Amino acid sequence: MFPLMPVPNIPRRSCLQQLGATGLAACLPLSAIAQPRRDSVTLNIALEPDGLDPTRFAAAACGQVVLYNIFEGLVKISENGAVEPLLASRWQIDASQRIYTFELVPNVRFHDGAALDVECVLFSFRQAQAPNSPNKAKKSVFDNIQRMTAKGALRFELELRNPDPHFLFHLGEASAVILHPNSATSAATQPIGTGPYAFVRWRKGHSVQMRKSATFRAPEKAAIEHATFRFINNLEEQARALEQGEVDVFINFITHDLHRFHGDPRYQVLLGSSSGKGMLAVNHRHPVLKDVRVRRAITHAIDRQAFVSSILQGKGNVIGSHFAPTDPGFLNLAHLHAYSPERAKELLQQAGVKTPLELTLTLLPVPYAREGGPFIAAYLEKVGIRVHLQPVTWQEWLSNTFQGDFDLTLINHVEPLDHMIYADPGYYFGYDSADFRDLTHRHAASRNPRERQLLYAAMQRYLAQDAANVWLFNSQVSAVARKGLQGLWMNYPIYTHDIASLRWAS
């Protein structure tokens, strides 16, 4: 159990519907559809990772592929948000809630046969702490560790600078996986971990393949022998691949084409909750967008409920700050800066903005962005903001947008409890608020649970009032899967796909 943090109560099966097709699939006989092997599974996700080492590459797609499959951390986050033992068999937390003592599971091997010991853990965490570390959790998690001490081959101690009630949860995320010093340098393209699946091949632009590891400590826990992640972001291609048996499951398949699976007993559709925060990210370095009145105007200009209804087909919730309903202590602030084109025009006028204000909106190759971009542009046009749509590849987004070269971008931040990105002025959208940083410092230093709760709420309100970004939605996660595939997650407190939990019905 998670000893410090209250865990959101997420129903294990929040919604389960058996759907099928009225289109192409309904016309095809069962013999025309490739039947799945009982020992293999192929999953489709929209975006291809830029690397396979989640301690170096920030993209959520990396963790979706490798976390709990190839790589493991000290703990594991379950589907209901609980923290469970993984590479650490047990841990203790002292009265100050700053000193953590961990014991590792004995006889754990990496896929190349190397043994897991305390030195592997300390190496991984020191790498994450290094001054030039690209680890996305460096500032929020690893810089808070002031001392790491080995107490034996399988026992070690971590001392935090400040108590962090979410520390164990963060140790279950992709950024905290454990690498071996001898294989870490090649992990981006040839990952070697301790998980139930070993890397086989990465066909760039197509797929990542893995097989059940011969060195895994509990082979009985993994029924699937071969797993493949296919990268398809075109909606028609996704549906065709499922109908023709090229893939067994789509993740996050919320599209207007979902109806084509109605009435067909070969498919199942699972709907659940997520930690995602879909938003129109704003570049605070832009001379006009750095004005809070302009950011509030943009928020007022967009009918966010209409976005959820139209672009997400109603499968989501409007949010008003960088916190998801699954986060403990969540405040519903969707009512702030409510839809009001008149108020948007007033704020632009107060800010001295000469209309039409010309801005570029960068769009990732995912449905919510490519479909949502024109939707947002139409609303902003009504208040005097002319938006130029710029579709980009994921690699272009990482090379340019993520480096701060953009005006607006539509993106879903899926990492849970990641509000500390707003305390980092160097982050891609450049939010820089000394007052917000002060709130985070006070929250980190507080020993009083009630005070911490109040400060947590204050952080949510501050970001919302300052319109640090334009938050749009917290989406449901859906999976369209072949009938008979069991063990798929319904709810996603973190974004990963645990292959070892899957199996085909007899």
User: pLDDT tens digits for 1-14?
Assistant: 333 333 333 333 33
Higher-confidence residue of 15 and 374: namely 374
pLDDT of residue 181: 98
Q: Which CA distances in Å does 65 have to 177, 225, 268?
A: 13, 16, 22
Q: Where are the beta strands (DSSP E) in 392-449?
A: 408-413
All structural domains of the chain with their residue ranges: 60-190, 277-475
Q: Which CATH superfamily is domain 60-190 in?
A: Dipeptide-binding Protein; Domain 1 (3.90.76.10)
Residue 442 near residue 292, CB atoms below 8 Å: no
Q: Among the listed ranges 70-74, 196-200, 268-272, which one has the minimum average pLDDT value?
A: 268-272
Encode burial over 337-369: b for 16+ CB neighbours within 10 A, e otherwise: bebbbebbbebbeebebeeebebebbbbbbbbb
For 277-475, the fitting CATH number among 2.60.40.10, 3.30.70.2190, 3.10.105.10, 2.60.120.620 is 3.10.105.10
Residue with tokens 């995602």: 276
Could you tell me the CA-to-CA distances from 259 to 244, 245, 262, 306, 310 in Å, in that order? 17, 18, 5, 20, 15
Task: Give mean pLDDT, residues 305-321.
Answer: 94
229: helix, strand or coil:
strand
Percent of the chain past pLDDT 90, that is, above it, reads 76
- pLDDT at 403 (0 to 100): 96
Q: Which of 264, 273, 205, 221 is nearest to 105 (CA)?
A: 221
Mean pLDDT of the chain: 91
The stretch 319-347 carries a mean pLDDT of 96
More confident call, 235 vs 428: 428
Model pLDDT, residue 270: 86
Which pLDDT does position 319 carry in this prediction? 98
Q: How far apart are CA 251 and CA 228, in angstroms?
A: 13
Identify the H or E element spanning 343: helix 341-350
Asked if the model's pLDDT at residue 20 lies above 50, the reply is: no
- Residue 27 scores a pLDDT above 70: no
pLDDT for 254: 58
- Indicate the residue type of 404: G
390's tokens: 């710029």
Contact call for residues 84 and 3 (beta carbons, < 8 A): no
**Could you tell me which of 436, 364, 377 has the C-alpha nearest to residue 406?**
364
pLDDT of residue 212: 98
44-63 pLDDT, tens digit each: 998 999 999 999 998 899 99
Backbone angle region of 484, left / alpha / beta, with phi > 0 → left and psi within -120 to 50 → alpha: left
For residues 431 and 438, give the distance between their C-alpha atoms in angstroms, rounded to a whole number: 14
Please tell me the distance from the alpha carbon of residue 145 to that of residue 141, in angstroms, as a whole number: 7
pLDDT tens-place string over residues 194-244: 999 999 999 999 999 999 999 999 999 999 999 999 999 888 888 899 989
**What per-residue confidence (pLDDT) applies to 35?**
56
Instruction: List Cβ neighbours of 441 (8 Å cut-off, separation of 6 or more).
Output: none
pLDDT bucket at 258, cuts 50 / 70 / 90: low
Is 55 within 8 Å of 127 (Cβ atoms)?
A: yes
Structure tokens at 117: 């010991």
**pLDDT by residue (tens digit) across 431-456?**
999 999 999 999 988 888 899 999 99
Q: Which of 204, 201, 205 is nearest to 191 (CA)?
A: 201
